[in-house]
């Protein structure tokens, strides 16, 4: 059995995944509950294994709980001022911007981001427009609003997600 042996491999790999926590979000409109969303945190070292089988994991959890589910890594933002030694450098993946970008990438994981636009509104407000590849539209279409809500709850950033195919570049041979 090819399928049976592959399921055993998947189960063996998924046993190594460490769940760091879970949080349930309730999306409300006009004081009535519209949708429930489950956010599962995994440790950063086990994120790669989780993303390898993310569609299988999400479908299993969603059928069991009947709730839209997302999986992201538990990341830490380090202050640029707190150091044990003055020559100590802060890793780039622990900066605020890097952590916020990584959270967004985790939320849309089977898809990939093809472009970003930042619009500065009056005052200090920023509005982020994210372009996602067109192939993921079937998967992400009903998940766009929960992604916006969760991302805003975690980062205080307002985003808009649009689907756009990647540009194709052709080379023209000179005669």
Give 15-57 pLDDT, tens digit per residue. Answer: 888 888 899 989 888 888 888 999 999 999 888 888 888 888 8
Tally Cβ neighbours within 10 Å of residue 137. Answer: 14
Residue count of the chain: 175
Give 106-130 pLDDT, tens digit per residue. Answer: 999 888 888 888 888 777 788 899 9
Q: Indicate the pTM of the whole model.
A: 0.82
Q: Highest-confidence range of 84-88, 102-106, 113-117, by mean pLDDT? A: 102-106
Q: Number of helices (H) and strands (E) in the chain: give both, helices first.
A: 6, 6
């Amino acid at each position: 059995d090819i399928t049976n042996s592959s399921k055993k491999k998947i189960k063996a790999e998924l046993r190594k995944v460490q769940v760091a926590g879970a949080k349930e979000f309730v999306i409300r409109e006009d004081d009535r509950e519209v949708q429930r969303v489950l956010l599962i945190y995994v440790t950063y070292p086990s994120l790669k294994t989780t993303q390898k089988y993310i569609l299988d994991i999400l479908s299993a959890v969603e059928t069991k709980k009947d709730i839209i589910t997302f999986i992201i890594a538990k990341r830490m933002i380090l202050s640029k001022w707190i150091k044990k030694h003055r020559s100590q450098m802060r890793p780039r993946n622990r900066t605020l911007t890097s952590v916020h970008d990584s959270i967004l990438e985790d939320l849309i994981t089977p898809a990939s981001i093809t472009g970003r636009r930042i619009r500065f509104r009056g005052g200090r407000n920023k509005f982020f427009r994210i372009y996602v590849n067109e192939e993921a539209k079937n998967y992400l279409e009903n998940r766009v609003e929960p992604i916006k809500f969760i991302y805003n709850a975690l980062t205080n950033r307002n985003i808009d997600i649009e689907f756009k195919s990647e540009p194709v570049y052709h080379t023209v041979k000179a005669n």
